[in-house]
Structure 1
Amino acid sequence: MMQFIILSLSLVQIINAAFALIDCASLTNATLCMQSGNCQVSSFGATITCQPITDCYRVSEVQACLLTPAANSISGCVPLNIDYKYENVCVKTGETSVPNGLLRFRRQANITRSPDITLSETPVSVLTTTTTPQKYTYQLFTLDILLASPTQLAAILDAFNHGINQLITDAVQPKFLEKAVIETFQNIRDDVTYTQSTRSTQLGKAWDLVNILFQRYQNYKAYYVQNYDFINFGFSDLNRQKLVITTKTYEIELTWATYANNGYIYVMTLAPEQFGIISIKQLSDLIWIKIVKDDGTTQDLTAVPVFIKYTWVNTATEYSAVYSQTFNKVFSSAFAPAANTAVSVTCVYPTTSTTYCPSFAVPVAALDQLMIFHHDTIQDCTALTGNQPYFRLARC
């Protein structure tokens, strides 16, 4: 019996040791720090600084948010069961779900290797300078974007831009570029080392990748819509004269009766939490709309008068107005609430049927920027102090 007790105690000790949280301060390798599940890199360089994660939504090791915290645990977080395709396992105390904008897609370790070197051992530096980028097209997609530092991500995005001529051909399936776009925005959102300036620069490169994706759609289908969780894509040849994106909580219908030149319309929606934008009465994601000619040059709303109809899930609440606001897509400066601009139509707010705003002209200022619909003033960036992770994401 005594031997059984000793053996049982030893087994418990082994199990506890196996599931013990990693001591973040002991890690000097960035990849190991980011893969730990409870640690974050707070400073990159010759020597990295690894510290406990500060946002509940970024934790992927559930022990870090158990009710009885241990060393390196995160205060104010509780466990949450969620779809296995996401890494999220914790939320703030008192919360019962993860906002779409804070969902974290898992790394696909089976097809990725490193942020610096492809599975075929080709350094990123080669991919950004080669005169034969077509030789390395699919190697680009084996780079681990989710583990990339800001410097590594910049190099990866430069490599995509360098290989654009091959990436927009039939040789590449759009889903690979969609994955790269999603992982790029997730990486930028979750990296705590960005300043507002460095994030703005990186977002410029991220939008270059978005444009590569939509150029690929041109050679793929005349009409295409793909829904993910915090990003949705919509594309149409202008001769279709209509594009509809439907999600769990809203629907966007874009229509245009005329167009001066043949071409295409690009649409992407992006969860506003990505940039720390929150509003109790927020209605929509951030909406990006761009119109181009066949040759890729831009068209304006005079050449293609686009109208938007917005329908959202009924909240059983009647509101007095619906407003729109536009943000710079690279957030080059801290956002602030603009004067509430009411949409130019009378919206319908029944509490027992469809809630919608009839078609109205897309605001000129919103083209190739980010537009959002809401019922009250968007919170000022600086008003988010202490409200994590939104204050960090706002980069005030």
Structure 2
Amino acid sequence: MIILISAILNVVNSYIGDPTCISQVTQSTCQNLGYCFWDGLTCQVEDCYKIDEIAACRPSGFLHTTAPIICNSLELEAYFYQIYANVCNDPSDDPNELIQHYIRYQEPKNGYADKSLNGNNLNYWNTNVPQYGSISQIYTIQILKQDMSQLDQTLDIYIKYLTLFLSDTYWTYDQEKSISYMFQQLRDDTTLASINKKLMIGKVWQIVDNLFERFRIIGNNYTAIYPLYSINQVALSRLQTELSGRKHVATFKWGQYQYNGYIQVMGYDLHQFGFVGQLTQVYEINIYDNGHNTQSLNYGIMYTFPFDISTMSSIYLYSFDRVTLQETQIRMLTIGNFQDCNYDSTTKKSTCQIYPLTGNTKYFIGTTLSTCGSIPKRYKCKQPRCLWTGSSCTNNPP
């Protein structure tokens, strides 16, 4: 009788989010907790942004009662929980801040990773002649459910359909959303060899370029904001445009242009490729006339930050090569009144104004970028630039 009462009390007092990861001895019990991952031998604590069980991050949960605190819970509005899967964040982040470059979309309940809703599998779509009427079915393949092999096949399907996408009369939302899912899956993968991930990212760039070509065909002013990338197309006659990233806004201004046309700007986050130390997204700028011909344009970028940038010892302007996934340091930015960067104590904002720049280039600004070996946490150690091995981050050049 005493044994039975003790057993009942143990059941009652064992709450969701309480068990430790290391106490789980099988892969299934480890993964079922929602805040652990199986490394092949033992059960380890999952990266905070990948956790699915918020109880572990709340004050009484295992990840919050240990010292030091491993993860905090995100107490968000119900609207965000419906769209995003994030329920915890790192203690180094602001409380209840949904960090833009670590947002995860909810995995859909319906649909399949290996086939479209009409039952055609990935091999069917990759081997049969593309048909215009099949585009809507391509979009039903559930990218967020896929492993890397399935994702690679899906990238090939999208590339096979690039020409047909250009004549698709439906709006571009489905293709935009798919690109966002592709970036998320590649960001979160820890299994691919560096060279394979680089090749797959290259395929995503082809799909992105196809999307921009669709925008030029449509010819409208347009903005779309997603966690890992954002896009903007505006007529040159507007003389400026802007995109927002985490804790900064980038404003692009130009005074003259030779032909009527469009400027296209894409901002994408470098954290997904293993970079740490950047203050802004990479901003890729492309200029076209109304005939879709590439044009040259002199312009400037003004970066605005809601903090005092003058406290930083050194800030640099970088260019970025999205093919090699490598950065090039252009020059150090000067800080102070009438310099490249300045802090306004009245508005509590800093601005960095970079002039002049030439079109069809990719820029970002940041401090001295962290080497992989100096990155202390697994979730910041991203392929293809860095690789987490055991308990440390190592260099993994793409």
TM norm. shorter chain > 0.5: yes
**5+ long unaligned stretches in structure 2:** 387-394
Match of 1:358 in 2: 353
SS, match of residue 317 in structure 2: strand
Two-structure CA RMSD over aligned residues (Å): 4.0
Aligned 8 A contact 2:52 2:85 in 1: yes
CA separation of 1:55 and 1:241: change in aligned 2, threshold 3 A? same
Aligned 8 A contact 2:333 2:341 in 1: no
In 2, Cα distance between the equivalents of 1:24 and 1:220? 56
Match of 1:250 in 2: 248
In 1, Cα distance between the equivalents of 2:353 and 2:226? 26
In 1, Cα distance between the equivalents of 2:312 and 2:13? 58
Cα drift, residue 145 of structure 1: 1.1
Match of 2:73 among 68, 80, 83: 80
Cα drift, residue 350 of structure 1: 1.5
Match of 1:161 among 159, 162, 166: 159
Match of 1:106 in 2: 106
TM-score when normalising by structure 2 = 0.76
Aligned 8 A contact 1:57 1:98 in 2: no
CA separation of 1:356 and 1:205: change in aligned 2, threshold 3 A? same
Aligned 8 A contact 1:283 1:312 in 2: no
Deviations 1:95-154 (A, max 9, x none): 5345321111212324xx122101111212232343243121111221111222222112
1:264 is aligned with what amino acid?
Y
How many residue pairs get aligned? The number is 366
**5+ long unaligned stretches in structure 1:** 44-48
| Correspondence 1:85-100 to 2 at 5 A | 85-93=83-91, 95=93, 96=95, 97-100=97-100
In 2, Cα distance between the equivalents of 1:42 and 1:263? 52
Aligned 8 A contact 1:254 1:308 in 2: yes
1:388 is aligned with what amino acid?
R
CA separation of 1:293 and 1:278: change in aligned 2, threshold 3 A? same
In 2, Cα distance between the equivalents of 1:128 and 1:351? 58
Does residue 59 (structure 1) correspond to residue 18 (structure 2)? The answer is no
Match of 1:388 in 2: 378
In 2, Cα distance between the equivalents of 1:294 and 1:17? 59
CA separation of 1:264 and 1:345: change in aligned 2, threshold 3 A? farther
- Bigger Cα displacement from structure 2, 182-191 vs 156-165: 156-165
In 1, Cα distance between the equivalents of 2:122 and 2:45? 28
Deviations 1:358-382 (A, max 9, x none): 3512367xx454x2223x3122233
Aligned 8 A contact 1:242 1:254 in 2: yes
2:377 is aligned with what amino acid?
N
SS, match of residue 269 in structure 1: strand
Aligned 8 A contact 2:310 2:342 in 1: no
Deviations 1:283-328 (A, max 9, x none): 32222223345565644xxx22232222222438556764211232
In 1, Cα distance between the equivalents of 2:330 and 2:205? 27
% identity of equivalent residues? 22
Match of 1:46 in 2: none
